[in-house]
Amino acid sequence: MKAYYSMKKKLLPTKLYDLAQGKANDREIRTLGHGIDAEDEKLDLIIREAFIPTAQSFGLTSWEEIFGAPHLSTSAGLRRDWLIKRLRLNTGSFTMRSVEEILTSLGAEDFTISEKPAIFTVVIDLSSMRPNEAYKGWIREQLEELLPAHLEIVVIFGTMSWDQMDSRSLTFQQIEEKNYTWDEIDSLEP
């Protein structure tokens, strides 16, 4: 009824219409007011959902689809935080701290990052996450897209870290003889 009262307030001083309660002109303005209010509510919804800090439903999903995958099972507040972190990334976002921000923008909370500068490799251990295969693939895809192209990225999702494998003092040949796939190596118990 905001539009009705606004129109009536503006029309009364003109004395062009008889706007007494129940008169034809009053009913017409009331009907127009209802229509304008309905459209105004739709516009408010679109504006709210267009911006990440205020989005609550389809706006969040739309932004997440731009970046690869909606996180519908997570709270709207956490989804907004991840998207805002993601949008903060820029060309200078390749420090160790920035890699951590990238991981948190992907929903990772508990992880370790190891640098292997001699072989241009970054090892990211996400063993505590235990995501499904689709989510693992999405995280790998996002990291490949976001991190510098000259870096080799090794992402560990299993409970066995590369450092733990190194501590067993096995040669590559000994590991190779067991005919493990990479997925099997990732899921080895320490």
pLDDT in tens, 138-179: 888 888 887 777 778 888 887 555 666 677 676 777 777 777
Residue of 61, 97, 93, 66 whose CA lies nearest to 79: 61
Q: Which carries the bigger pLDDT value, residue 55 or residue 188?
A: 55
Q: Which distant-in-sequence residues (6+ apart) come within 8 Å of 114 by Cβ?
A: 122, 123, 125, 162, 163
Sheet holding 112-116, edge to edge: 112-116, 121-125, 152-156
pLDDT at 73 over 90: no
CA torsion sign for 88, 127, 134, 107 is negative
Q: Quick one: average pLDDT of 69-90?
A: 80
pLDDT digits (tens, 9 = 90+) for 56-69: 999 999 988 887 76
Is pTM beyond 0.75? Reply is no
Residue of 63, 89, 190 whose CA lies nearest to 148: 89
Residue ranges covered by each domain of the chain: 2-50, 107-186
Q: Which carries the bigger pLDDT value, residue 133 or residue 8?
A: 8
Average pLDDT, the chain: 81
Torsion angle, alpha carbons of 142, 145, 150, 152, to 10: 20
